[in-house]
Amino acid sequence: MANLIIPPRWRIPEHDVTPEAVFRNRRQFLRDLGFAGTGLLAAASFGLAHAADAPAATGTNSPAAGVKYPAPRNPKFNDPALKLTPEEYPAHYNNFYEFSTTKDRVYRLVDKFTTDPWTVEITGLCEKPMTVDARELLAQFPLEERVYRFRCVEAWAMIVPWTGFPLARLIEKAQPKSSAKFVKFVTAKRPDQMPGIERLRGYPWPYAEGLRLDEAMNDLVLVASGIYGKPLPKQHGAPLRIVVPWKYGYKSIKSIVRIEFVATQPETLWETLSPEEYPFESNVNPAVPHPRWSQATERLIDTGDRVPTLPYNGYGEFVSKLYGKG
Ligand SMILES: Nc1nc2c(c(=O)[nH]1)N[C@H]1C(S)=C(S)[C@@H](COP(=O)(O)O)O[C@H]1N2
Ligand SMILES: [Mo]
């Protein structure tokens, strides 16, 4: 493991993060439409939009150009106590090692990465395996927006609105066999389009992650196609990524090409590199320090404020039952 590169600790936000104040949240969107954006209205309108109603693809290099954005926000995941991180911070502060280990370089290196068309394979121990284009996959499910906390193992955090659908809907469609106990996710491996792969030659590419099947079925897990009411920018994992908000960020794997049902715990990139630091389960837990730093607090990437880290990243009511503590 001579060329193992340990991810850097969180760093001061990069000097070139320029506030552009471009993000208009859904409430503003509703206001623009002439509604007095209330929770009641959000609840009433939720569930109306469906990707299948979308107009034909527009031919842009946006994987979900045929999908209507923004999707209705799910009132269940719209906690008014959560203040959204302004869009430009997450967009310029990325972990995507296939491109760069320097967070503010990732978004500058994704131009050559082609994310449309994009094929996703659902395979392994299931009755209904399928190989589908990302657009067609998205068209099969109603999309919704959810505001989630996001906590990286490096102790930085943000609050962002994802667009997507629960992974559970796709799993139901695939019909896993009773022998399937885990779900493995795999990212594209394209050294010609991803300059970081060649630089980290010792890494076990492609990036892979996994969940227990019961974790994967939890309602919180999203297949995300968008963020801030728009299709995912490439640096966030276009066209489709997984979002697992109660686990450290490395579980939220980007730009997936394969979802595979397997019988035994799959190997993941980070656990293979450093199992004590990046174990498979990796639930956010302020009481368990990383071997090299505390996990008791986290740094918000926009304000720089340091705030307490919550068990399960604040999602205990939804997931603690998975771990026999419900
Ligand atoms: N394929 C792939 N997925 C990945 C990573 C990566 O390097 N490659 N980094 C992970 C880590 S460590 C984090 S914190 C999040 C960052 O997501 P963001 O850049 O969209 O905020 O992506 C995760 N998914
Ligand atoms: Mo991370």
Could you report the per-residue pLDDT of 236-265, keeping only the tens digit for each? 999 999 999 999 999 999 999 999 999 999
Sign of CA dihedral 230, 239, 302, 100: negative
CA distances from 123 to 128, 132, 177, 187, 267 (A): 8, 11, 11, 14, 17
Per-residue pLDDT tens digits for 101-120: 999 999 999 999 999 999 99
Element holding 243 (H helix, E strand): strand 241-243
| pLDDT value of position 147 | 98
Q: Which of 96, 156, 258 to mutate to test the pocket of ligand 1 (most atoms within 8 A of CB)?
A: 96
Q: Which atom of ligand 1 has the smallest separation from the CA of 158? A: 21
| pLDDT value of position 66 | 56
Per-residue pLDDT tens digits for 197-244: 999 999 999 999 999 999 999 999 999 999 999 999 999 999 999 999
Q: Dmax over Cα atoms in the chain, in whole Å?
A: 60
Q: Which of 254, 277, 278 to mutate to test the pocket of ligand 1 (most atoms within 8 A of CB)?
A: 254
Which residue's CA lies nearest to atom 5 of ligand 1?
Answer: 96
Which residue's CA lies nearest to atom 12 of ligand 1?
Answer: 250
Per-residue pLDDT at 324 exceeds 70: yes
Per-residue pLDDT tens digits for 44-100: 344 434 333 333 333 334 444 456 899 999 999 999 999 999 999 999 999 999 999
Nearest partner of 87 among 25, 169, 145, 5, judged by Cα? 25
User: Which protein residues touch ligand 1 with a CB less than 6 Å away?
Assistant: 90, 94-98, 152, 187, 207, 236-237, 249-250, 252-255
Ligand 2 ion local residues (Cβ < 5 A): 95, 152, 249-250
> What domains can be seen in the chain, in order of their start residue?
8-323 (3.90.420.10)
